[in-house]
């Protein structure tokens, strides 16, 4: 009896004190991200650097994206921009945020970004929602998003399931996303 109670208490404590592996954010449609983003661009991730903040309490990663196509904002193809995110690895220590957009050196992406002109930095809109990986293996380029660690709610606070029509099909063509962006910008 004592052993069973101890086991139940231990299991309960594990459930309470185990960190959640998802982040909850407001669900954003491509149209909403198009309207709110300062910059929408396609490009190649060419560099990444992680460093501590001045207080050594947080690690930030700055990713360099060399642009190939611009859809919106004061940026041009051929330009390199900096995207800053919380998390990274420094001195053997890793900090991460579940649901953050994962940018990997060498990958080609389409991103929706907020721009901090004063600091010369950009931030991904809607965490992982604002980053699409471009896959050119098929005859027509496809897009994918890594939304596994991201849970979304609509404006009323109702959970939006992963299979929602607002989440692009992982096999959707890049041209379809570009069409949605152009349509949203023309409104």
For residues 113 and 25, what is the distance between their CA atoms, to the nearest angstrom? 16
The kind and range of the H/E element at 51 are: strand 39-52
pLDDT tier at 164, thresholds 50, 70, 90 = very low
Of residues 96 and 159, more confidence is placed in 96
Q: Given this structure, which CATH class describes domain 31-185?
A: mainly beta
Q: For the whole prediction, is pTM greater than 0.85?
A: no
What is the DSSP code (8-state) at residue 120?
T
Please tell me the predicted confidence (pLDDT) of residue 107.
97
For residues 114 and 136, what is the distance between their CA atoms, to the nearest angstrom? 26
Please tell me the predicted confidence (pLDDT) of residue 11.
41
As a whole number, mean pLDDT of residues 123-133 equals: 95
As a whole number, mean pLDDT of residues 61-76 equals: 98
Q: What torsion do the CA atoms of 69, 73, 75, 80 make, to the nearest 10 degrees?
A: -80
Q: Which stretch of 40-44, 82-86, 128-132, 152-156 has the lowest confidence by average pLDDT?
A: 152-156
Please state the domain extents for the chain.
Answer: 31-185
């Amino acid at each position: 009896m004592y052993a069973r109670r101890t086991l139940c208490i231990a299991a309960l404590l594990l459930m309470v004190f185990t960190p959640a592996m998802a982040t909850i954010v407001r669900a954003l449609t491509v149209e909403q991200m198009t309207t709110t983003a300062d910059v929408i661009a396609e490009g190649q991730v060419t560099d990444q650097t992680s460093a501590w903040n001045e207080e050594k309490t947080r690690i930030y990663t700055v990713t360099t994206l060399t642009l190939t196509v611009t859809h919106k904002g004061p940026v041009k193809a051929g330009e390199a921009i900096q995207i800053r995110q919380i998390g990274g690895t420094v001195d053997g220590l890793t900090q991460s945020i579940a649901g953050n957009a994962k940018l990997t050196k060498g990958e080609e992406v389409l991103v929706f970004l907020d721009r901090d002109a004063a600091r010369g930095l950009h931030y991904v809109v809607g965490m992982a929602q604002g980053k699409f990986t471009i896959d050119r293996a098929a005859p027509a380029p496809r897009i994918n998003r890594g939304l596994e660690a991201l849970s979304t709610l609509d404006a009323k606070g109702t959970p939006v399931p992963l299979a929602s029509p607002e989440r692009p099909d992982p096999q959707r063509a890049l041209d379809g996303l570009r069409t949605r962006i152009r349509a949203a910008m023309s409104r």
